[in-house]
Amino acid sequence: MAGTIDMQLMRYINLFARITRVPTTKCFVYNNQIVFGVPKAQVSIAIGKGAVNVKKLNSILGKKIRVVAMPGVDTFSNEEIGKFVEAVVSPVEFNKIEVRENSIVINAGRQNKAALIGRGRQREKELSEVLKNFFKITKLRIV
């Protein structure tokens, strides 16, 4: 379901599992943040009481850490994909998201559109890669 995991991401996943005691295989970098995808039932365990696990990972790695809920295995609906995208791009907000078979259209205002695309289309490329690896979505359009 996911793309290949390089050695750096494997180190992040191992460290995450050791500190939080929550196993995951979903890890990616978006907007200079390391994002870990865990099952919905284990998000609070992974974050820890008072966000102690996230703070510990943040101090060890020196990067911002985000923990998001991954949709269920092979049963993800359009609504779940929309919630996942919203959690990944947060605090940037968008008006509407349309999920079709192999494409997503995100409707955002002018300022938020610029934040979603990023300089040199960097954030758009990162989000497109994540959607392709986890949900087999090949086209991303930000309007």
For domain 78-142, give the fold.
Answer: GMP Synthetase; Chain A, domain 3 (3.30.300)
pTM here?
0.88
pLDDT value of position 53: 96
pLDDT value of position 80: 87
Helix ranges, the chain (H): 7-20, 43-47, 52-61, 78-89, 110-117, 122-135
pLDDT value of position 42: 94
Secondary structure of residue 118 in the 3-state scheme:
coil
Q: Could you tell me the mean pLDDT of each successive run of 10 residues in the chain, 143 residues long?
A: 77 96 93 94 95 96 94 74 91 90 90 93 94 89 91
User: Cis (ω within 30 of 0) for the bond into 91?
Assistant: yes
Q: Do domains 7-70 and 78-142 have the same CATH topology?
A: yes
pLDDT value of position 1: 42
Domain boundaries, the chain: 7-70, 78-142
For domain 7-70, give the fold.
Answer: GMP Synthetase; Chain A, domain 3 (3.30.300)
